[in-house]
Structure 1
Amino acid sequence: PQVWSQTVLLVNFDENDGFFDHVPSPSAPSKDINGVVYGKTTLTDQQVSYEYFNHPAVATSKSQPETDGRVYGPGVRVPMYVISPWSRGGWVNSQVFDHTSILQFLEKRFGVQEPNISPYRRAVCGDLTTAFNFKTPNLLPVAELDGKKTKAEADAIRVAQELLPQVSVPSQQQFPQQEIGIRPSRALPYILHTSAKVDVTQKTVKLMFSNTGKQAAVFHVYNRLDLTAIPRRYM
């Protein structure tokens, strides 16, 4: 108990090739085959250059494909469990995080510096601190374990379950259902604004984006008259 009372356990999942995910990735602006950037960021070209596949293979590499200048990611969304005394209660955090967020969390906790995190990832991806309640973590009572409070009782349940037959595949398949109800959610570090200005004489529409929050955000713009066109992204 003494160890777990001071422990944060982060459980990550492998990506699933994008199945079930309908939200586009907050990537850097894409480029066409001529290197034209579709969008804009508040970072310099040098700061955002790490987000494009322009790095030649090392001499010992045998499988790296040819560089194509496309953005690296971030990839599709996957779940992550944050298990600790400071994250109890079934809270949800919808802030943008990626694999560098764990390194940023370690930086925050231990005062170290990881030089391999790009400026773009630091701007867009959080450091996981918003997933925790460090001020009042003990407001909620400790959850009961449904009457099974000893290791022997828990082991007995596991043994009994292992003896059960495999669950048969239903003959009539159905789509999974979303759980009814809502979950408490952590506050997000974004304050997003979008407005439009239409010029009838020039037949143009100008979009104005702003984010007065603490974390960078990516705005996606699609041409609904040409959905095959490269989407524009602004950060």
Structure 2
Amino acid sequence: MTTVLYKAADRGTGDYGWLKPNYYFSFGQYHNPKNLHFGVLRVLNDDYIAGGGAFPTHPHDNMEIVTIPFTGALKHKDSTGGAGIIKAGDVQIMSAGTGVQHSEANASATDPVTLFQVWVFPKVNDIQPRYDQRTFDLNERINKWQYIVSADEKDSALWINQDARFALTSIKAGSTLTYSNKFSGNGVFLVNISGTVTVGETTLGRRDALGIDGTESFSVTANEDAELLAIEIPMN
């Protein structure tokens, strides 16, 4: 097993007034030629959107875009006819495919929104654009992996155009949880959303991440109550 540690303090940052992002990989005004992606995982932005903040309508193509909110409510509208409001417990995916226009806005004029937005290169280019969202039961991720995005319909998750799987867990202090790859040869980008955990000899604090490759499974032990996101993706 090989690992790469991504410390929260080393992420790229921005401050646009209404938007305060933290970038795990090069994005926008943050460019680090040594940190462009992890396998087909191209973008992971940890965003704070102030009340009334909004991304105006803009285009995307040939990208799988997953949004996971933690607090507040985010309003989405796109040219496929997809529209909705997502909040904690919800997950949204958009396959940009041949091209799509969309906008995102804080649904509140006063309360902030915090979220992860994740971009993954697609398996097949130029598919028909599509949009989907789903509400997941937070109790179903306590001390176990809850699959929220997957190419395998058996995972009962939102479908993604890639041999990939996203999973969330809320792991209690002292518990150990093993993650096993759905797709052989994939890597996993493990993000510690909150709390403190240990993977092998590495301790992850809040918002630290670990790129894991060269293994089909690994175990995580919670030093205190923690929340984790595992993004399993092809490395080529």
Same fold (TM over 0.5): no
Q: Which has the higher contact order (CA 8 A, sep 6+)?
A: 1
Is the strand fraction higher in 1 or 2? 2
Higher normalized helix content (fraction of residues): 1
**TM-score tier after normalising by the smaller chain length:** under 0.3
Rg larger for: 1
Q: TM-score, with normalisation over the residues of structure 1? A: 0.22
